[in-house]
Amino acid sequence: MLANLLKESMYTVIYTGAGMSTESGLPDFRSAQTGLWEQEDPTRVASTEALNRDVEKFFQFYRQRVLGVKDCQPHAGYDILSKWEKNGTIQSVITQNVDGFHTESGSESVLELHGTLQKVHCQTCKKEYDSSMYEKESFYCDCGGKLRPSVILFGEALPEGPFMKAAEESEKADLFIVLGSSLTVTPANQFPLIAKESGAKLVIVNLEPTHFDHHADLVIHDKKIGELLAEVDGLL
Ligand code: APR
């Protein structure tokens, strides 16, 4: 079924969430027991408030995430998506993830809605550094300002540029495939609906049900993403 939809579509957009990286060894946020937000309160460690009020906890939380990303590799599912982009099977990727794995595995048309852990920047002068600063526990800019990861924190709005570009991509899609997202965070979770309302077929691949499943033309809950992508790739 999914292979046929991919063969028939003219413009396929892939939309990924943290479930795309669990098979690389990175925890997602909301899976029972293992999700990051099962262990930590995001407003205490991943918010503008935490950056201003509890900066040591903020620094250490993000240092662990930067180290976690550096210790993990994109799994084979990422290579399949990169191959599909090169052979015209898919046209673009919109991701909520900040691990940089799509780009690392060769995908080129990637929209990182929530920014990237690969970079940090000064909260005061905006100077940008590589995130290896966090590995070395260097948390302050030459100017004395706090260095923060170049990700969207809780309490911050999505920059208009990436949002508009993702909306345009979603409107162009005739096939929109969600891979590994609970679709609980707005406004990132609007893009599947924008695509659907623009006439696209909507596919949701997620180990747990989402509130958007009833909008989908196809829902797959019983297969991990890596396994599914390998299976579908073999049918194309
Ligand atoms: N295959 C398929 N689905 C999976 C897999 C897998 N191998 N591993 C996990 N999942 C599913 C989980 O069941 C879960 O419902 O992926 C989903 C991930 O959902 P979340 O943990 O909520 O992650 P996400 O939807 O990306 O969160 C969105 O929330 O905290 C913010 O900024 C953060 O970008 C993040 C946003």
* Interface predicted TM-score (ipTM): 0.99
Give tens-digit pLDDT for 80-98. Answer: 999 999 999 999 999 999 9
CA-nearest of 143, 131, 111, 123 to 66 is 131
Q: Write down the CATH superfamily of domain 40-71+115-151.
A: SIR2/SIRT2 'Small Domain' (3.30.1600.10)
Categorize the per-residue pLDDT at 76 as very low, low, confident or very high, splitting at 50, 70 and 90: very high
98 is an annotated ligand-binding site residue? yes
- Distance (angstroms) between ligand 1 centre and the Cα of 31 equals 7
Q: ∠ at Cα 43 (156, 32), nearest 5°?
A: 115
97 is an annotated ligand-binding site residue? no
CB 112 within 8 A of CB 118: no
- Residues acting as catalytic residues: 114
Ligand 1 proximity of 155 Cβ (cutoff 6 Å): no
User: Atom 4 in ligand 1: which residue has the minimum CA distance?
Assistant: 19
pTM higher than 0.90: yes
Give tens-digit pLDDT for 109-164. Answer: 999 999 999 999 999 999 999 999 999 999 999 999 999 999 999 999 998 888 99
216 is an annotated ligand-binding site residue? no
Q: CA dihedral in degrees (149, 52, 62, 74; nearest 10)?
A: -40
CATH architecture for the domain at 1-26+74-114+157-235: 3-Layer(aba) Sandwich (3.40)
CB 188 within 8 A of CB 196: no
Neighbouring C-beta atoms of residue 4, cutoff 10 Å = 11
Q: Is 28 exposed, middle or buried (0-12, 13-18, 19+ CB in 10 A)?
A: buried
What are the residue boundaries of the structural domains of the chain, listed by start? 1-26+74-114+157-235, 40-71+115-151
